[in-house]
Amino acid sequence: MSESARRVVIAAFPGVELLDVTGPAEVFSVASRLLPSGRRGYRVEVAAARAGELTTSAGLRLVADLSLAEVRGRVDTLLVPGAMELAAGRAEAVVDREMVQWVVRAAPSARRVAGVCAGSHILAAAGLLDGLPATTHWLTCDLLAARHPAVSVDPDPIFVRAGRIWTCAGVTAALDLALAMVAEDHGHALALEVARAMVMYLKRPGGQSQFSVPLAQQEPTDDRIVQLLHWITEHLAEDLPVPRLAEQLHLSERHFSRLFRRHTGRTPVAYLEAARVEAARRLLEETDRGLPDIAAASGLGSVESMHRGFRRQLGASPAEYRRRFRTPTATA
């Protein structure tokens, strides 16, 4: 790794969500290992009020490399993870006051700052989200909006980038946020390579809903359906009528349709459209390909069909989606 590694500081506190810390740390670590020699990788440090052990929400202990007071010098990326307390069916974001005060002082000198999951509440309390769009775990979005009316809270996206300030949704969305940062620094090819190395289902774009195609469907319990879904993903651009899908499982159309719906919660036709819109939205965000090309590559066929699918699935046109969520060209 190059000596000028990008410094990532993750600011932790007792009770912090474990994956909010370890998820991004692993993404940056894998990215560093996959980078060619001489390219700027990442050096991850965990900081807390006091250096040493701290207990996370999972009961497992982390070791902070240094105290908050010892974080000096240039910080490339500052990540502020969060924590939630659940009581009487209500989720409450933990806002560590000492952390808020430190973030107020430390954030201005970092190249980019991110609130991870409920960590968005800490950024809001520090005044970093005023006048900006932001998201957080869906359980606490209403709370964030109520307590910080100057923040434009969007409960839907997996992550939101507003200039150098990033926020993300719950728990595993931290992985998507970190992958997007890797893509910004080193390009989409490396981010996708990291996703594959971590056996992630896909690299989700920030604008994807917290309740998107992969998340909203039921988890199939029939291995035949699981294998078919993977096969569908690899053949989206082809003509996939129900008879062809049924043939893949050597079932009658009627039996196949019942089985598919029982295990996915969707009809085959509905699932296909949702999966194709998912593929199209990734191409819109990550490439400059034209709408006809994307419609063909995703299996939606024509631009008109793509428009109809996007309106049904997302309530926006493909062009509107691209304007809002197109990822800027990455720099090395």
Burial readout 316-332 (b: 16 or more C-beta within 10 A, e: otherwise): bbbeebbeebebeebee
Rounded percentage of the chain residues whose pLDDT exceeds 90: 69
Residue 159 vs residue 314, higher pLDDT: 159
Tokens of 69: 């007071």
- Residues 76-91 have pLDDT tens digits of 999 999 999 987 768 8
pLDDT at residue 211 is higher than 50: no
The per-residue pLDDT of the chain, averaged, comes to 89
pTM over 0.85: no
Least confident of 126-130, 276-280, 316-320: 316-320
Q: What is the rounded average pLDDT of the residues 179-189? A: 91
Using pLDDT thresholds of 50, 70 and 90, give the confidence band for residue 103.
Answer: very high
pLDDT digits (tens, 9 = 90+) for 222-246: 889 989 998 999 999 999 999 999 9
Cβ atoms of 148 and 132 within 8 Å: the answer is: no
List the domains of the chain with CATH numbers: 6-197 (3.40.50.880), 213-332 (1.10.10.60)
Judge whether residue 325 has pLDDT over 70.
Answer: no
End-to-end CA distance of the chain: 14
Does the pLDDT of residue 218 top 90, yes or no?
Answer: no
* 258-282 mean pLDDT: 91
